[in-house]
Structure 1
Amino acid sequence: MDAVMFHRTLSCCLLVLSLLPLSVMASGFSRLSSLTDDGFRISAEARLLGTGDRADETLASLSPTLSLSPASVSKVYTAAAALDRFGPQHRFTTRLVGTAEPGPDGMLAGDLVLDGGGDPALTSEDLWRLVQRLHQAGVREVTGQLIVSQWRFGPVECITTDRCEARRQVDNAYSALLSSAGINFGNWCVHVAPGSAPGASAVVTGCDSKVLLPGIDNRVDTKAADSGTQLSALRLTEGGGDVMRLSGQISTNAHPRDLYRASADPADQTAQLLMAMLERAGIQVRGGYSTSTVQPPGSAPQLAAVDGKPLQEILLRTLNYSNNFMADVLALDMANGPRPSLEQGGAAIEAFAAGIPGHGPLTLRSGSGLTPENRTTASGVNSLLAYMFDQPSLFPSFVAALQSPSNGVMRFIRKGPASFQQRVMIKTGTLNEPVRVRAMTGYFRTRSNRWGAFTVLVNGTESTPYLNWTMVLERLSEDLAQLIESH
């Protein structure tokens, strides 16, 4: 080949390369990209994170600026924004106040008000501590009502099918409704144990009270030893109250099981449980209970208070268990204005992300990702991860809330090569309606101990075939392991 022909050939090749999409030229996700053959839409990027004067370095990309649904990967935005707003050691406070000072005889001549502080991790144990402190303060009788005030937010308008249906009935825990005065992640818990002998009904009790809360419709039979245990639970709202309808079987030698289902009204759930605890502590409330959206007056005397867990512990539970209730309550805590909506909570997080260099467009209709309208890009999520990596006071709490595949609580991630299992920290996201979404983001450490960030968003369409995590993890884990080992 003469020199003229060589240069013409070289120019032609360069022209062809310049016309190729950047995602094809710099893919690096050779296995993951095979999913595009079946019509799946993918936004993916892996980058080495810069330190000092060293800039970030893109290692692999596949349509990194394509805007797609992140599902529960949305929660990393909520976690980062909460850390930025409140700091890792922030605690939410829940109070009991009175409409009057209690007298020396222990009588409160007025109402007892629980002032819901928007604690995403408020539990039965916290309520019991409140009751104990109220007892220690000398209160023995309330002439008025117990009022659970969710004036900060709640009941929050449902904007997803799952949550709207949960107001009537629900067979899961993840679609819990929202309130600033909710406990136990907006879920009822019932304890199911085998009966005394085969043929007897199972023994069902509430997890948190001697009083049977919620109501129970027990259709679980006790079977002979080693017969297997199969339980189902449906929470219904009947006659104005929640009822847990249980069915199935439990063998005589089976371990007891705890079943969780979202309540129809988190504030009312709190009121019912708090009333039972007050009675158990010997504090009589004559007027019953109610819920309210009215803020207690600033002059109301504080009778007891409990500080929740530090934010860094809340985030570990929020991300590890992908808890929708906790994430959305946190987003609402960050919203501006009285009685915010989920969209306002998402807007507060969007405002935080707008200050991240290189992030680009972001749409969050919720902090949990339960809303299918959420949209971001792989490049945008990685910009968020890079930003948090550069925050020395926040990064340890942020990365600690992610899971290691080798020992994370989600067993389905315990797959792939050793480099993926041991050198990656991740958050996953899953949606099945209206289209299937499998998303993952997190940090990795290369063989030379460089920090990296990666994000993969895989979205189906109405015409794409079934998508499960195995299909994504098998490919992604191999691609990431190769990047980790080669750097």
Structure 2
Amino acid sequence: MADRFSRRTFLTALGASVIPVATLAEAPLVSLRPVLRGAQLTGAERVVQSANLSGDVVFAVADVKTGVPLEVFGGDRGLPPASVAKALTALFALDVLGPDYRFETALVADGTIENGILDGDLVLVGGGDPLLDTDDLATLAANLRKVGITEVRGAFKVYDGALPYVNSIDPGQPDHLGYSPAISGISLNFNRVHFEWKKEGSSYNVSMDARTAKYKPAVDMASMKIENRSLPIYTYQPSARQDRWTVAKGALGKGGARWLPVRKPALYAGDVFRTLARVNGIVLGRVQVTRETPKGTVLATHQSDPLDSILRGMLKYSTNVTAEMVGMAASKARGVPVHSLLDSAAEMNRWATETFGVDGIAMVDHSGLGDASRMAPSDLVAVLVAARHSKELRPLLKPFALTDSNGRPVKNHPIKVDAKTGTLNFVSGLGGFLTTADGAEFAFAIFTADVDHRATIPRALRERPDGARSWNRRSRKLQRALIERWGALYGS
């Protein structure tokens, strides 16, 4: 176990909670409980009540220096954390893999090479890089030519066995949502394919490609058929070698584009690499997917950015693929068998218990997309307090803007917040750190969820269900009100 998040560090921080609360100026411990009708409400209870949220609200805040909890509301009760879970995943990956860890994608020759001819197989070897894109594959293809390869007489294979295959991060999401694609040991463009349509007369010109700013290679492994209907907008049907989509003509308008999820990541990466290799004069055979560890000569490699940079982007843009891939890589590095996201999340839960002594974290994935995950705010705050002593997490978190009564960001607000947000329909979370005007620093977690109502939403309507936007907007307003309260109450 790495030293940066040792159990000793955590217990030392919490051990300070035996310090008399009176030593904290204006910082009484308040353990809030539901009150009887007619009883006098505390300040925090009034804030919660004014939010007019259906479902549940839980939160906790603690002093970073001492670990003393300052205010707790249902803090031991777990709710879905949504993408706030990515903060825990970041700590897990940093602890197990280290901030300088890099993922590697390689081209391996399984055969002899003579006069530029590979008499054997060429293998594109995925190494779990969550940021691999078409530009990177283009560089690999160019480097393959630079090392002298002009012809491959054997098969072209893609190895995706570095991580387990997962068909969808959350199978409860509609098929067409790009933030719940497949996961495997190779990922390209966050396992999304670009679908674009343009009206030409009474018909449409449709394209499916793996575009970046530099390249726009068409793909064969994903197809789109326009059908004369209004609903459903999209349908998906898998085949052995294709993701087959249909789209309702009545929904297309004059033109547009969106990213669709990829369910066959190895075929996708192989399809694109074949095109880029052909640009360099190298003709490859039909893509074959393998999960057998390749052997042979390494011809070219691509290394990812260091892990801390990857995690900063993950926390800023809340990329689910990144969270799942780095989380599974960390679980595998701990030497446990990982066959699914649930296996890997269970290993992260064990790590959290071993490292921080918490028992209210029960994740089913690493991204927070699955609403069956549960996290208690008091446990997350305890983790954040311990992690703050390592000084590695807060610099990776995105600044969180506080707003005025009209919802406009307040420039130079005296309270500075760095946090991870989390949003699902009828689920909202926020967790991180705040620093008051006088320099006091606190760790906090706020979770809100109407789990019962969310469960009634049909799968097909989970992209934009009725009432979700206004509910989540009220939740975000509550989060800001609580932060303002803590800054005023405990910051002087």
1:139-288 superposed matches below 5 A: 139-156=149-166, 160-162=170-172, 170-192=175-197, 201-202=204-205, 204=207, 206-208=209-211, 209-217=216-224, 219=226, 236-237=237-238, 240-246=241-247, 247=249, 248-249=251-252, 258-285=257-284, 287-288=285-286
- Comparing 113-122 and 329-338, the one that deviates more: 329-338
**Maintained 8 Å contact 2:427/2:472:** no
Partner SS for 2:112: coil
1:306 aligns with 2:302: yes
- Describe the shift of the 1:124–1:45 C-alpha distance in structure 2 as closer, same or farther (beyond 3 A): same
1:475 aligns with 2:478: yes
1:323-402 superposed matches below 5 A: 323-335=319-331, 336-338=335-337, 340-357=339-356, 359-392=358-391, 394-395=392-393, 398-402=394-398
Partner SS for 2:105: strand
- Describe the shift of the 1:141–1:463 C-alpha distance in structure 2 as closer, same or farther (beyond 3 A): closer
Q: 2:448 aligns with which of 440, 458, 470?
A: 458
**Maintained 8 Å contact 1:154/1:293:** no
- Structure 1 unaligned regions, length at least 5: 1-19, 222-231, 408-412
In the TM superposition, what is the alpha-carbon distance from 1:454 to its structure 2 partner? Answer: 1.2
> Residue 323 of structure 2 aligns to which amino acid in structure 1?
A
**Maintained 8 Å contact 1:145/1:288:** yes
Deviation per CA, 1:228-253: give whole Å up to 9, x if none.
Answer: xxxx66554357412454544565xx
- Work out the CA distance in 2 between the residues paired with 1:92 and 1:64: 37
- Describe the shift of the 1:233–1:88 C-alpha distance in structure 2 as closer, same or farther (beyond 3 A): farther
2:432 maps to what in 1? 442
In the TM superposition, what is the alpha-carbon distance from 1:158 to its structure 2 partner? Answer: 5.3
Q: 1:430 aligns with which of 420, 423, 426?
A: 423
- Root mean square deviation, CA, Å: 3.3
How many residue pairs get aligned? The number is 429
**Maintained 8 Å contact 1:334/1:348:** no
Q: 1:34 aligns with which of 39, 49, 57?
A: 49
- Describe the shift of the 1:183–1:217 C-alpha distance in structure 2 as closer, same or farther (beyond 3 A): closer
- Work out the CA distance in 1 between the residues paired with 2:240 and 2:339: 30
- Describe the shift of the 1:461–1:235 C-alpha distance in structure 2 as closer, same or farther (beyond 3 A): closer
Partner SS for 1:473: helix
- Work out the CA distance in 1 between the residues paired with 2:346 and 2:453: 32
Partner SS for 1:387: helix
- Work out the CA distance in 2 between the residues paired with 1:463 and 1:205: 36
Deviation per CA, 1:199-258: give whole Å up to 9, x if none.
Answer: 56346452434434455446599xxxxxxxxxx66554357412454544565xxxx854
Q: 2:84 aligns with which of 73, 76, 79?
A: 73
2:21 maps to what in 1? none
In the TM superposition, what is the alpha-carbon distance from 1:95 to its structure 2 partner? Answer: 0.8
1:61 maps to what in 2? 72
Q: 1:45 aligns with which of 56, 60, 82?
A: 60
- Work out the CA distance in 2 between the residues paired with 1:234 and 1:406: 40
> Residue 61 of structure 2 aligns to which amino acid in structure 1?
A
- Work out the CA distance in 2 between the residues paired with 1:249 and 1:422: 45
In the TM superposition, what is the alpha-carbon distance from 1:182 to its structure 2 partner? Answer: 1.9
- Work out the CA distance in 1 between the residues paired with 2:265 and 2:219: 17
> Residue 44 of structure 2 aligns to which amino acid in structure 1?
F
- Describe the shift of the 1:143–1:421 C-alpha distance in structure 2 as closer, same or farther (beyond 3 A): farther
Partner SS for 2:398: coil
- Comparing 329-338 and 171-180, the one that deviates more: 329-338
- Comparing 301-310 and 203-212, the one that deviates more: 203-212
**Maintained 8 Å contact 2:128/2:186:** yes
Give TM-score scaled by structure 1 length: 0.78
In the TM superposition, what is the alpha-carbon distance from 1:282 to its structure 2 partner? Answer: 0.9
Deviation per CA, 1:70-92: give whole Å up to 9, x if none.
Answer: 12221111111111122223210
In the TM superposition, what is the alpha-carbon distance from 1:320 to its structure 2 partner? Answer: 2.2
Partner SS for 1:101: strand
Partner SS for 1:180: coil
1:321 aligns with 2:317: yes
1:5 maps to what in 2? none
- Describe the shift of the 1:474–1:160 C-alpha distance in structure 2 as closer, same or farther (beyond 3 A): closer
In the TM superposition, what is the alpha-carbon distance from 1:302 to its structure 2 partner? Answer: 0.5
- Work out the CA distance in 2 between the residues paired with 1:442 and 1:414: 21
**Maintained 8 Å contact 2:197/2:206:** yes
In the TM superposition, what is the alpha-carbon distance from 1:457 to its structure 2 partner? Answer: 1.1
In the TM superposition, what is the alpha-carbon distance from 1:179 to its structure 2 partner? Answer: 0.3
Partner SS for 2:158: strand
- Comparing 37-46 and 472-481, the one that deviates more: 37-46
**Maintained 8 Å contact 2:210/2:218:** no
**Maintained 8 Å contact 1:204/1:218:** no
The sequence identity of aligned pairs, in percent, is 22
In the TM superposition, what is the alpha-carbon distance from 1:293 to its structure 2 partner? Answer: 1.1
- Comparing 352-361 and 129-138, the one that deviates more: 352-361
- Describe the shift of the 1:387–1:281 C-alpha distance in structure 2 as closer, same or farther (beyond 3 A): same
> Residue 270 of structure 1 aligns to which amino acid in structure 2?
A
- Comparing 25-34 and 87-96, the one that deviates more: 25-34
Partner SS for 1:190: strand
- Structure 2 unaligned regions, length at least 5: 1-29, 36-40, 457-466
> Residue 45 of structure 1 aligns to which amino acid in structure 2?
A
> Residue 155 of structure 1 aligns to which amino acid in structure 2?
Y
> Residue 405 of structure 1 aligns to which amino acid in structure 2?
A
- Work out the CA distance in 1 between the residues paired with 2:196 and 2:481: 42
